[in-house]
Amino acid sequence: MYLDNAATSLRPQNVIDRWEEISALGTANLHRAVHHIAAEATEAYENARKAVAEFVHAPEAEEIIFTSGATHSLNLAAFGIGEAFISEGDEIVVSEAEHHSNIVPWQMLCSRKGASIKVLPVDDAGRLRIELLPGMLNGRTRLVCVSHISNVLGLVNPIPEIAVICKRAGVLLLVDGAQGIVHQAVDVQALGCDFYAFSGHKMYGAPGTGVLWGRRELLEKMPPMFGGGEMIETVKWDASTWAPIPRKFEAGTQNISGTPCLIPAIEILKQMPHGNEVKAFVYEELQKIDGLRLFGATADLSLKVPVFSFYVERAHHEDLALIMDKMGIALRSGQMCAEPLMDRFGVSGMLRASFAPYNTMHEAEYFLSSLRKAISMLR
Ligand SMILES: Cc1ncc(COP(=O)(O)O)c(C=O)c1O
């Protein structure tokens, strides 16, 4: 039973079929040749850009940059933002609940530029302390980086509210949407952010695919992170010039087979029901287990997605994960790429069960009874 959907989702048949179709029949590189197979491959790739733009309500398809995943998107953003907008002494605010992918690129940028990071804390339940944000922004703050939904806490952050605070202070807002894109209908314009990054493989698409959306006027000012084929306008020995967005950011051969699979992935995502019944059941039942501390608890379950991270007293998370694996249940254990959040809660790691709409009530019941059994084996 697969309950590690926040790490990567299962891939539906329509996505696998499309990948096989392109890989078997459509071998050609993009944007380069005049032959018809190349034209078809390019069309499939560019149609995916249009589909993603429509899906996230981007004003223009050219604002969609294809990457290999959220990590690549965030690094690309950090490089370009750093070169275009960050100087020595500037500040970047990053939330305490971020995945390492939305921490480390900003640290790298800060050490390159002589800038610094300020941490927006979470409260004991894991909610962002938004009330502190206005006081953290000053004349040197250039950017706020926050996830739409934390991969540990499963809480939906109030992005529109954060965007209003950022806009008032003249600060850019970047949203890590790696989990948000899976569980929320994303409208980047309604959210009010300046950048939104996500991966294809968590939203039922192919591994090695991802997206960075950014506002045109910002992307146009940002230099590319990688140089090479297809990202240039002209190449001369004294200097080269860049192609317009999005190609400026897509150097070299792209994911010819994977990226077009974002179209069937989006189709599936739109059809997926929201498993509120399973979510409410698991949420209630987990809290009845003796010595279990659930992180990301909230009175309003509409603000929580079915990502449950917890710590069990006198039962190590790795031991529990191994026993649960023997019982046929795949869970995530450890720091969940969020070491600062583990430090905040004073734990060395957690156990995480993350559900997708294809997980049934029967599976939820089996998970809970198995967890109770596994805990009793260790105590
Ligand atoms: C919130 C969040 N951000 C970023 C990432 C990184 O995604 P990827 O490994 O697909 O690049 C993840 C993956 O778990 C995530 O959950």
DSSP code string of 170-239: T-EEEEE-TTHHHHS---HHHHT-SEEEEESGGGTS-TT-EEEEE-HHHHHHSPPS--STTSEEEE-SS-
Which residue's CA is the closest to the ligand 1 atom numbered 12? 178
Task: List own/partner pairs for 57-62 with CB under 8 A and 24 or more apart.
Answer: 57/186, 57/187, 57/188, 57/189, 57/190, 58/188, 58/189, 58/213, 59/189, 59/216, 60/216, 62/216, 62/244, 62/245, 62/246
What pLDDT does residue 26 have? 66
Residues 298 and 224 in one domain: no
Q: Is the shortest distance between the CB of 179 and ligand 1 below 6 Å?
A: yes
Q: Is residue 6 part of a domain?
A: no
What pLDDT does residue 134 have? 98
Q: Is residue 2 part of a domain?
A: no
Distance CA 123, CA 161 (A): 17
* Tokens 């939906």 -> residue: 156
State which of 179, 201, 204, 255 you would mutate to test the pocket of ligand 1, scoring each by most atoms of that ligand within 8 A of its C-beta.
179
Residues 52 and 157 in one domain: yes
Distance CA 61, CA 35 (A): 25
Helix (H) or strand (E) holding 146: strand 141-147
Residues 53 and 94 in one domain: yes
Closest ligand 1 atom to residue 199 Cα is 10
How many distinct structural domains can be found in the chain?
2
Q: Is the shortest distance between the CB of 68 and ligand 1 below 6 Å?
A: no
What pLDDT does residue 33 have? 65
Q: Is residue 151 part of a domain?
A: yes
Q: Is residue 118 part of a domain?
A: yes
Among residues 244, 269, 294, which one ends one of the domains?
269
Please report, for the domain that includes residue 353, its CATH number.
3.90.1150.10
Could you tell me the distance, in angstroms and rounded to a whole number, from the CA of residue 102 to the centre of ligand 1? 8
Backbone angles phi, psi at 71, to 5 degrees: -60, -45
Residues 188 and 309 in one domain: no
Residues 106 and 217 in one domain: yes
Among residues 220, 253, 269, which one ends one of the domains?
269
Q: Is the shortest distance between the CB of 147 and ligand 1 below 6 Å?
A: yes
Q: Is residue 305 part of a domain?
A: yes
Closest ligand 1 atom to residue 337 Cα is 14
In terms of residue numbers, what domain contains 89? 13-269
Q: Is residue 329 part of a domain?
A: yes
Token pair recorded at residue 198? 């996500």
Q: What is the DSSP string of 280-310?
A: HHHHHHHTTSTTEEEES--S-GGGB-SEEEE
Residues 302 and 324 in one domain: yes
What pLDDT does residue 272 have? 85
Residues in the chain: 379
Residues 327 and 289 in one domain: yes
Which residue's CA is the closest to the ligand 1 atom numbered 9? 71
Catalytic residues: 337
The CA distances from residue 364 to 1, 176, 266, 292, in Å, are 10, 28, 26, 17
What pLDDT does residue 275 have? 67
Could you tell me the distance, in angstroms and rounded to a whole number, from the CA of residue 4 to the centre of ligand 1? 13
Q: Is residue 8 part of a domain?
A: no
Taking the whole predicted model, whether its pTM rises above 0.95 is answered as yes
What pLDDT does residue 196 have? 98
Q: What is the mean pLDDT of each run of 10 residues along the chain (379 residues)?
A: 97 96 78 74 93 98 98 98 98 98 98 98 96 98 98 98 98 98 96 98 97 98 96 96 97 94 96 86 97 95 96 95 97 96 96 96 98 95
Backbone angles phi, psi at 196, to 5 degrees: -145, 125
Distance CA 82, CA 109 (A): 6
Q: Is the shortest distance between the CB of 255 and ligand 1 below 6 Å?
A: no
Which residue's CA is the closest to the ligand 1 atom numbered 13? 7
Among residues 269, 303, 329, which one ends one of the domains?
269
Closest ligand 1 atom to residue 201 Cα is 10
